[in-house]
Structure 1
Amino acid sequence: MADALTLSRPKAAQAGSVNILDVSKTFHVDDRTVHALDNVSLAIEPGEFISIVGPSGCGKSTLLRFLAGLDLPDSGRILVDGERIDRPSLKRGIVFQDHRLLPWFDVETNIAVSLHSVAGPEAEKRKRVQYLIDLVGLTGFEKALPHELSGGMSQRAAIARGLAPRPPLMLLDEPLGALDSLTRSHLQDELLAIWEREKSTVVMVTHDVEEAIYLSDRVVVMEPRPGRIASIFDITSERPRHRDDADFVAVRREITNLLAKR
């Protein structure tokens, strides 16, 4: 495991392939039956940045929970690097809209917690934690408690915690959704820089179409009840992207129009 924590170079983009195969899920709420997902299939290549957008109730977060191993589909399979997901794993990091930092621990300890079950020298773990603190721009705030941080700083710490075990797959559930527009825009650029450095596969759920286009290699648009994939958009323009470019505006309009019909 020590090699998995090596900091001198980013890990090679080998792991992190995802295959979602005919996944369905039904919930029973009071006297109603809700078809959250219906025969959803999607293949994701190692190192891809994928965003999932769609109206509320289309199964975006349910699908992310399946990828995290926090819940299981009624039918179908989800494979990560050929292994069927049936429980949470350090191989899949997750960041929620709420940072969920432990309030009694400082930034350094909150990040280190995710390495508790990881084998390897303690000195290497400490190096990993400090590397991530520097990577997400929290140098000097190692001993700060969560209540002493801004919303953006708290989310940076949460992202660092998710990255600490070097997961091949990172799952982001509206990680920037609670932030003001200026902070959100800044953290989008930081998130891209982190992704390019760490080389993880990223699957992000967001309601922000512009954010999805700005960050992603592909944008998956879902439709609700039952939750299905309506369309997948390849975002081929080079990074860094400009939100006022004609191609960017055209894709945004197409996705927005598609969502308006759902």
Structure 2
Amino acid sequence: MPRNPGPSAEVSAEFTDFVSRASASPDVLGLVLSGSRARRGMATARSDHDVYVIIADDRAGVPPAVAEGRRSPALDVMPLSLSEFRAHALPGDTYAWDRYAFVHSQVLLDRLGGTITRLVGEKAVLDDPEAHQLVRSELDAYINSLYRSLKSHRDGRPDVAHLDAAESVPYLLTVVFALHQRVRPYNKYLPWELAHHPLGAPQWAADALLPRILRVVADGDPATQRALFATVEDAARQAGHASVIDSWGTDIELLRPGGRPAPADRAAGESRG
């Protein structure tokens, strides 16, 4: 039987009717509620209900109960076969960007004895190998964007330095969350995630991290960028990722508070930045 959709803004009659109709179809194996309606305190009167519908692989086409009213002001329905759902939002999938949709999502129907719930759970967190690899790749990308930004500041190009500073933020946030085996939230949910599901250490608290992030996006302030990097570097080294940072050699000094600038003609640094 479908579960209660949980606390949010008022549940629409259209959503309730859809869940009842979809649940009555034998071709529907699972229903997963995502979006603002699945996260306490995020829904507004204008929030729709984002529902993933998992359909049996041997079903030809979308069941009528699902096809009706797939998109409206109250509903946004994504039908997926079971095979598609297994890979959906995972690394290598076209919809890998959609992974955070399953963090804090609610399984409304699971006709497979817990399989749908298990698949949702696997999408909602990063396992050890995935988190380790993600930190290493995104940390290097973060350092690269940060280096470009601070090098441009050094060379009197504040406008492009600001652009690279803003570009570094998604990499930085991915690293911070991956260090905790967490999926980076969509920007809309970042303050909510930090407030309701904190990362633990005080430097990652919403009132500590968000002002720094917003300052970097606002103007690319070099001092703020360096202070953020110092925090990230310390956490990354403690987690065993020192080799990524050390691979930058002396160029990394440009990124540290009070550090000396890297030589402008350093071949290795210039090729990466």
- After TM superposition, the score normalised by the length of structure 2 is 0.27
Q: Which has the higher contact order (CA 8 A, sep 6+)?
A: 1
- After TM superposition, the score normalised by the length of structure 1 is 0.27
